[in-house]
Structure 1
Amino acid sequence: SKGTGAASFDEFGNSKYQNRRTMSSSDRAMLNAFKEITTMADRINLPRNIIDRTNNLFKQVYEQKSLKGRANDAIASACLYIACRQEGVPRTFKEICAVSRISKKEIGRCFKLILKALETSVDLITTGDFMSR
């Protein structure tokens, strides 16, 4: 309802602006990252389960605060890369880089830091994984 002059309210009847004030900055940052993740995933047609896994990874990393000082977009991009690999549909850094505003180098750096922070590993990618596409 753009331009009608009607005040904007959310589904609970609260003013949208009121909600923005009460939300903590960390929640806001996380929501923005989730939005960014969904946008990136949509651009390369990734299914919902990958978006969910990426969001979970991002949340874990974010709450650990082990990557403080890194751009949230970069962390989100690296999480997307990891989620794709974990779900068995690997994408190259170049492909992730193409849908985000982050350089390949920075995504790679964040990728390594996240693996260390979450003490997780991803299976090695064989060229066969990419050949099947």
Structure 2
Amino acid sequence: MHPGVKTKEPDKMSPPEKMFPVLLQKNYVPQGEYEIVGYLKEAVKVKNAVGQMVIVEPEEFVKGEMKPHESPGVGFGPMEMKDGRKVNAKIWAGTTIKVPVAEAKYVVAKKIAERADDIAA
């Protein structure tokens, strides 16, 4: 190379891929990187002696956790294979996750999930 020409250094760290929030309508295994936002916990209602339904625990959004499965004893989360590689496991429907924009477009198009951003209409 010519001594006066400076070479362009390749980026050592590529910018992180933009993540997009989606609300899963069906159980789903993310293809790559993902982030769990949380889930909407339903209100707990109990019938009192008069026969009225009374709310014992109000509805709330639980941040950072996957929605638990209805059946007890059903596990989820990342799995480690015998050869040492980690594989994403199934995430249950009703959980809000953030996935890369390309994957978010795919799951919304296939009706696996709905957009969970503020301008979803």
- Taking structure 1 as the reference length, the TM-score comes to 0.19
- Taking structure 2 as the reference length, the TM-score comes to 0.21
Higher helix share: 1
Higher RCO (C-alpha 8 Å, min separation 6): 2
Higher strand share: 2
Determine which structure has more spread, i.e. the larger CA radius of gyration. Answer: 2
